[in-house]
Amino acid sequence: MNKLKRLNIQHDISLKKHNTFGIDVKARHFTSVSATEELRDILRQPGYPDKFILGGGSNILFTGDVEALVIHMNIKGITVTQEGEDHVFIRAGAGENWHEFVLWTLEKGYGGLENLSLIPGNVGTAPIQNIGAYGVELKDVFSSCEAVEIASGETKSFHLQDCRFGYRNSIFKQEAKGKYIITSVTFKLTKRKHHIHIDYGAIRSRLAEQGIETPSIRDISEAVISIRRSKLPDPAEIGNSGSFFKNPVIPAEDFEKLKNRYPEIPHYPVSEKHVKVPAGWLIEQCGFKGRRFGDAGVHTKQALVLVNYGNATGKEIWKLAQDIRETVSEKFGISIHPEVNVL
């Protein structure tokens, strides 16, 4: 009993404030950890065979109560681990808020994360998803991460090649899924000669509107923040998880057939054989943009975002997502898949 009290395991706790959709479900057991050793103590605790790791709750849709022990990762800290003339290596704790961490790097003049500004969530979940936006992905700045193996409690380092990053994918969503808990992530950022990415989305036009011809990394960050705020709802105001679906990548020959039918279809070449099509455009063409079904709906400005207008359940939002998938498949012959984890 003293061990349980020391580890502060709570019971029947609402997770509404721990997920950006604002879904009111309960965790049968809940604890928050702020140090790696504390995490190991929790993992050694008997009586809780099933564990569920919760970060910022920005990429999850709860469709029911969680029977497992929910471990909320709250490990903080930002450290410079290595520094040279051109690059700096920064280690951030898994519990650091992602956007606040990006702003910290910009304050220091470090480049690499500016295109990833204002992405919701925490640092520890970023590698799992290989988060990306406006032409940059986490893998482009990732050096390594440390993770605790759930079965043994031992710490293992995963380097870039170990993580097998793909589009919104990594080893942590494949063979290592449910086996490790990321405790910190190390990034390789630039100190000078920054790699400027302004050709994806509306960054270039937003900079042009401001008369900026040679943008700094801070200029790019501010442009990205402005664009995201103009299109994406604030989870503090309306429940959402950002982009709900991945942008599908289809064979180039299939795209050419679609282009004959829909000449205005936006697209981004991935390779000579594959093309990425915006899922939001597909959903909008199917008439879902701005529609509301009870308290579940599709955002008025961005069809890629599903929203909770107040009291929608996870099951209601998931049903809407499935209806959207079926309609897109019927109209375009394209399968779109959730970017959000559905539990």
For 226-238, what is each residue's pLDDT tens digit?
A: 998 888 888 888 9
Where helices occur in 120-175 by DSSP H, the ranges are 126-129, 160-163
Rounded Cα distance between 181 and 184, Å, is 9
Q: Which two structure tokens, joined as six digits, stand for 81?
A: 């681990």
Statement: the pTM of the whole predicted model exceeds 0.85: no
Rounded Cα distance between 96 and 75, Å, is 7
Contact (CB, 8 A) for 160 and 144: yes
- Using the predicted structure, report yes or no on whether residue 1 has a pLDDT greater than 60: no
- Using the predicted structure, report yes or no on whether residue 7 has a pLDDT greater than 80: no
Q: What proportion of the chain, given as a percentage, has pLDDT over 70?
A: 98
Pairing of strands 51-54, 66-73: parallel
Instruction: Tell me what the mean pLDDT of segment 5-26 comes to.
Output: 87
- Using the predicted structure, report yes or no on whether residue 136 has a pLDDT greater than 90: yes
Rounded Cα distance between 183 and 161, Å, is 19
The residues carrying an active-site annotation are 168, 243, 339
Q: What are phi and psi of 274, to 5 degrees?
A: -135, 150
- Greater confidence (142 vs 200) lies with 142
| pLDDT score recorded for residue 50 | 87
Nearest to 56 by CA among 90, 21, 11: 21
pLDDT digits (tens, 9 = 90+) for 293-340: 999 999 998 999 999 999 999 999 999 999 999 999 999 999 999 988
**Length of the chain counted residue by residue:** 343
Contact (CB, 8 A) for 207 and 223: yes
Q: What proportion of the chain, given as a percentage, has pLDDT over 90?
A: 70
Rounded Cα distance between 92 and 121, Å, is 14
